[in-house]
Amino acid sequence: MSADKGKEVDDRGTCTPCRGTGKVTSALGGEQHEVTCPWCGGTGRFQAGRDAQESPAERDAQESPGERDTDESPEPDAR
């Protein structure tokens, strides 16, 4: 048994889903392509509290709620 085996390693410096590259492979749309890692935002570093399932638009709204343009209708074709 190795000395490291009994010790829990919690080095959360590197983003594990992208292995620190900031990119992951997505097959959305039927073809594989590289996208920015939603878990670290492309930084390659673990970000506590970041929700990878949240859409980027929702994340932007939370970070700067006063800077959004409120003149646009949420449904442009609504009459």
The helix or strand, by DSSP H or E, that contains position 62, with its residue range, turns out to be helix 56-63
Tokens of 9: 């390693």
Residues 75, 59, 53: CA angle, nearest 5 degrees: 95
CB 46 within 8 A of CB 60: no
pLDDT tens-digit readout, 24-69: 999 988 999 999 999 999 999 998 888 888 876 666 666 655 544 5
pLDDT in tens, 9-22: 455 799 999 999 99
What pLDDT sits at residue 36? 94
pLDDT on residue 59: 60
| pTM, 2 dp | 0.54
